Chain A
Amino acid sequence: MDNASPTGYLRVSVTSGGLAYPVEGAIVMIKDAALGASGVLYSLRTDMSGLTPTVELAAKDASLSETPGNDSPFLLYAVEVMKEGYSRSLINEVQVFEGISATLPVNLVPLGYGAPPYGIGGTA
């Protein structure tokens, strides 16, 4: 990515029980929404505060948002979050604007016993 191309910023915050506690060690994949499963741009892991690092993503020129009637002024991404023992979460249509930082809050619901655990095998 050269310096001239517009970029925006995203971090993901993974918690459970509302904001009651952070989920450490969740796998967060950021994908190009247009490419789907093959378009994984980042594979991240949450820290002890449930946060991924802030990543840079391609965006569109911010001037598109200055007046009505233009193309949409953002690029779209999909984010998938997985952690053993919790429901898996897929968030489509995450918008990235030039020069703007965003936080995606993801609230994971713990699975009960007997529910099929979402395996992320081999990623101990």
Chain B
Amino acid sequence: MTGNVRYPVIPENITVHLGAPGSDAPNVTVPFSDYIKNVASSEVYPTWSDAALRANILAQTSFALNRIYTEYYRSRGYDYDITSSTASDQAFIYGREIFDNIGALVDELFDDYISRTGAVEPLFAQYCNGTTVTCDGLSQWGSESLAREGLGAYDILTRYYGSDIEIVFDAPISGVTESYPGAPLRIGSFGNAVRQTQFRLNRIAENYPAIPKIKFPNGFFDEETEAAVKAFQRIFSLTQDGVVGRATWYKILRIYSSVKSLSDLASEGIPIEDVTNTFPEVLKIGERGSPVVELQYLLSFVADFVPFIPAPAVDGIFGEETERSLLAFQTYYGLEETGVADDVVWNKLRSVYRGMLASSPDDYYLANEAYVGYPVAAGSEGPFVARIQRYLNYLSNYYPDIPRVAEDGVFGPATERAVKAFQREFGIEESGAVGALSYNRLYGEYKRLEALSNEER
């Protein structure tokens, strides 16, 4: 066999343009299953028959996947996957309510789609209401009347799309390495999948304290595990049966990753010191280096809270992606849309970052271990500097090239030498200043070594 067939994957997120193609409207990035729940809640009535709802959800999912798979908008130079215009795509009303029965169906169906028999591409499953608008595709009202006649979802779909279609079940999901184990986990189950579930539930419980902690996450599905699963299901609108089936499994994965992505970016509770910013540089497209990393880091943190702002890659290169993110930040916070990071942008970004840290619940981040939100260098002082010194000293036990320093909270020449030695050791530009990138490497290595030494004990 030659040639690479690109198989469709269910994306983690989808970017929706909240207007007609090419119009001046914001984009919003949301998890794919949330998108389908929203579309289904907007396109059809929740009071319709189960089979009609299923047929419509499969058509909506296929339509969206087709737009992504064929890069319909991206290949035309747009920075989104689909629009909310019903003339071009399907209805999406950002922030709307989700009907629980539709939500439950989507949790079950979001990784299934329609394709032509023998083809790989998700079907361009057009549909229309069937009364005021008719089209070469599914009729929404017609699907309900067929369901009332007793047809199942597949038979409804073949009426509109022909008999040469098939449903692709359980398509691969992007970013998910832990696929559903195949059978539901329940009381009496044991093994690694149970242990992972317990571990994830315990981590989620740190942010959602109504979920009871599982005292012995040992891989045996006991009554405590069941209680935690039920509490999780209650909060996230799943059937409260205490069993980890497909829908619950993937929901746990998703919430776990949501909870973790934010705490990976930063930790909490930094007292706000009045420190002069070390590099309030003006940055624009084409630039590179650690100030760009700083900018990207802060933007990606804010993006976790504001779905209108796309998160840029934190790679130190100010390209179009970073510019788009910055423009969206300026739009959202009412700043002039220049795409250039100037003093106004830096001040706003840091103020927003610190506000977001401060508003998080106390036990959300590991106490006092966050990046402070601005770089420090020779001349800086304060508890944040003292923490950096503590981590440097910890690393120096393992990396003899990193000299020990006094943990006095004063960033003097000795600290600068230690920082440079650390940067050399880890292949970071030897600036002697600690910004987001250096801090995250330093802190990450500190945590890694600490965990190792705890294991040895």
Contacts and interface: CB of A to CB of B under 8 A. Distances in A.
Given A48-B210, A113-B272, A103 B131 contact: no
Nearest to B140: A68
Given A51-B235, A98-B47, A112-B348, A21 B141 contact: no
A109 B305 contact: yes
Contact of A94 (B96, B351, B364): B96
Contact of B45 (A65, A86, A105, A110): A65
A80 interface: no
Interface residues of B, number: 52
Interface string B131-170: 1000000000100100010000000000000000000000
Interface in B335-363: 348, 351-356, 358-361
A115 B97 contact: no
B103 A110 contact: no
Contacts of B353: 112
Contacts, number: 140
A13 B144 CA distance: 30
Q: In the complex, which of the residues A50, A68, A93, A110 has the most CB atoms of chain B within 10 Å of its own CB atom?
A: A110
Contacts of B258: 17-20
Contacts of B129: 68
A43 interface: no
Contact of A21 (B95, B208, B351): B208
A99 B47 contact: yes
Given A48-B209, A103-B103, A112 B356 contact: yes
A110 B359 contact: yes
Contacts of A121: none
B101 A100 contact: yes
Nearest to B261: A20
A49 B259 CA distance: 14
B207 interface: yes
Contacts of B191: none
B255 interface: yes
B100 interface: yes
B270 to A, nearest CB: 12
A105 B96 CA distance: 7
A114 B47 contact: no
Nearest to A104: B97
B100 A19 contact: no
A105 to B, nearest CB: 7
A109 B329 CA distance: 13
A93 B259 CA distance: 30
A93 B41 CA distance: 13
Interface in B304-320: 304-307
Q: Is the interface of B mostly helix, strand, loop or mixed?
A: helix
Nearest to A94: B97
A93 B42 CA distance: 12
A4 B307 CA distance: 42
Contacts of B364: 21
Contacts of A93: 96
Nearest to B30: A18
A51 B210 CA distance: 11
Contacts of B34: 105
B262 interface: yes
Interface string B198-216: 0000000001111000000
B304 A102 contact: no
B239 interface: no
B98 interface: yes
A107 interface: yes
Given A20-B304, A113-B354, A103 B98 contact: yes
Given A97-B46, A105-B98, A113-B354, A16 B272 contact: no
Interface string A76-119: 00000000011001010111011111111111011111110000
Interface string B234-260: 110100000000000000001100110
B48 interface: yes
A72 to B, nearest CB: 10
B311 to A, nearest CB: 11
Nearest to B356: A110
Contacts of B234: 49
B69 interface: no
Interface in B388-425: none
B359 A86 contact: yes
B100 A101 contact: yes
Given A85-B355, A111-B355, 14 more contacts: A16-B305, A19-B258, A20-B207, A20-B304, A49-B208, A51-B235, A85-B358, A99-B47, A100-B46, A102-B41, A109-B306, A110-B360, A111-B359, A115-B351
30 contacts: A10-B97, A16-B359, A16-B360, A17-B262, A18-B31, A19-B258, A20-B261, A20-B262, A20-B263, A21-B361, A22-B207, A49-B210, A50-B235, A65-B45, A65-B47, A66-B47, A68-B131, A69-B131, A73-B47, A85-B359, A97-B47, A100-B101, A102-B46, A103-B103, A105-B34, A107-B305, A110-B305, A111-B359, A112-B348, A113-B272
Closest 7 CB pairs of A and B: A112-B352, A112-B355, A110-B359, A112-B351, A104-B97, A65-B45, A21-B207
